[in-house]
Amino acid sequence: MKHVKDMVAAANKVIECLSAEEAIALHGDENVLFVDLRDVRELQREGFVPGAFHCPRGMLEFWIDPDSPYAKEEFQSGKRFVFYCASGWRSALSARTAKDMGLEGVRHIVSGFSGWKNAGGATEERSS
């Protein structure tokens, strides 16, 4: 059996990983799009990085693929991407998937949104 912890560790070896502080330094750069992979209930409960694009993890591949009927222009924008989830596990797997699909400029916050908040990163509440 392949364990998720091992999959995350393997992903982190082949993708670009950011500390929360490094991610905070990128926030506000017009050429960088933060991508929130968490479930909508997590956004409602915890808030999100201001200006982040919400992409539920289950839709990632469909929204990245330009040939998919569900493709989102955000992933065709040519921007660099900072993926994040709650603690960095889903974002690691997602960044690896995105990289495998050929999406360039993808990295992720190793400590996730919790690390972002602990490092003093700006947050915004989601309105209903």
Residue 11 lies in a domain: yes
Asked whether residue 128 carries a pLDDT value surpassing 60, the answer given is no
Residue 84 lies in a domain: yes
* pLDDT classification of 68: cutoffs 50, 70, 90: very high
Residue 123 lies in a domain: no
Asked whether residue 126 carries a pLDDT value surpassing 80, the answer given is no
- Sequence-separated (6 or more) residues with CB below 8 Å from residue 102: none
**Environment class of 109 (CB within 10 Å of its CB; exposed 0-12, middle 13-18, buried 19+):** buried
> Which domain does 74 fall in, by range?
4-118
Could you tell me if 115 and 18 are in contact, meaning their C-beta atoms sit under 8 angstroms apart? no
Give, for 24, the enclosing helix (H) or strand (E). helix 20-26
Residue 47 lies in a domain: yes
Residue 42 lies in a domain: yes
Asked whether residue 45 carries a pLDDT value surpassing 70, the answer given is yes
The number of domains in the chain is 1
pTM of the model: 0.95
Q: What CATH number should be reported for the domain holding residue 16?
A: 3.40.250.10
Residue 111 lies in a domain: yes
Tens digit of pLDDT for each residue in 76-108? 999 999 999 999 999 999 999 999 999 999 999
By DSSP bridging, strand 53-54 and strand 80-84 are: unpaired
Q: What is the mean pLDDT of the chain?
A: 96
Mean pLDDT within 24-28: 97
Give, for 22, the enclosing helix (H) or strand (E). helix 20-26
Residue 16 lies in a domain: yes
Residue 125 lies in a domain: no
